[in-house]
Each structure stands twice: as structure tokens, then as C-alpha cells.
Amino acid sequence: MTDAALSFVHRYEPATRAEAPPLLLLHGTGGDENDLIPLGGMIAPGSALLSPRGKVLEGGMPRFFRRLREGVFDEDDVRARAAELAGFIAEARAAHGLAAPVAVGFSNGANIAAALLLTQPDVLAGAVLIRAMVPLAVPPPADLAGRRVLLLSGAMDPIVPEENAARLAVQLRAAGAELDHRTLPAGHGLSQADLTLARDWLRAPARTAA
């Protein structure tokens, strides 16, 4: 059910397994708080699901931050929106009694999740970044030691160049993240391989909460 009580319009599905890590679901451009709920249920059955709607509108389509054109981001807005989203996560954790969530983001949602990791490193327990690209050309120093990150890129992605995804991987590793970067035989859209890899990664041991 969509809820507007906190600082972001969002949807929250409570956990049915106490040991399952909560997920923060972050949609792509034109999506909303409902888009990734089915994906969350498939890759992490029983997890609490927290899914906010991006506040920026581009041609009527929700996003999590402004861009100047495709592939070129308003980096000041990226930083401000990441801080705003971090505040929402703190609100939601207090309201629902959640541990630090693992972000699962697609496209624009993956980009804001990457920005959260690099600018608000204590907010997330880890992240699954599907078709992410570099959100900040020169990110601030961040300590992501103990944070597991799965970066899923598409070899035939017309939006995210291979070198851009590789540069994001370098940034995350430089910050100390335990990064698993996979390039799939896919374009920009979600594939079954993304779901399978995300599910298996989330089941793996040694996740450390923030």
C-alpha cells in the first residue's frame, strides 16, 4: 500500500522472516514505488521491502535526481538528493524498526544507490546496482569496508558505456567495498540473469549491517 506519511511517498511491505535483510527498492526513470516490489519478493522472499518514489519529475516521469541530458547528471542535485534519501531511510528505519537496508536499484535507482554508498556510506548495509553508472565524477572519500556490492552491467547496454561501469567499479573498490561486478549479455533492461544473480548474492553469507 502506498504511504505518504514520511518524507517520500513510498510503499512498505513488512518482513515475514525475521532473519531476512530489509531491502530498499529504487526504481528507474518513469517508475514508482510499486515497480520493484515484485522483484524484491522474488530475490529476497520474506524480506521487508521499502520502496520510495523519486521526487524529481522529468517530462512527468519520476526520477531520484536531475540530469542535464542522458548520461550527464546535475552533480549538485545528486548530492542533495542522496542526502534527502538518507534522511528518509533514517525515518523509515525508526518508523518500522528496520536494520540498515540493502539497496536494490535499477538504472536511475541504481545511480542514486551508488551515490548513497559514496556520499552517505553508513546508510546502507550493501547494494545491488543494476545498470548503474558513475553518479559523481569525483566522489568524496568514503569508507565502505564491510559493505558488499553487486554491480550488474549489460554488455549491449546503449545507455551505460562499458568504461563508465568499469569506472564506477574502481570508485567502489577504492572506497573499500567488497565488489562483485558482472557484465551480462544484456541491454539496459532487466533480465532473468539479473534476478538469479541478485537472489544468489543476497543469499550468500557474511553480510554486515551498518
Which active-site residues does the annotation give?
107, 157, 188
Q: Are 89 and 101 in contact (CB under 8 A)?
A: yes
How far is CA 92 from each of CA 41, 52, 55, 79, 151, rounded to the nearest angstrom? 19, 10, 16, 20, 25
In the block, which residue shows the cell 544473480? 197
Say how many Å lie between the first and final Cα of the chain, rounded: 27
- Non-local (6+) Cβ contacts of 169 within 8 A are 151, 179, 181
CA 52 from centre of chain: 11
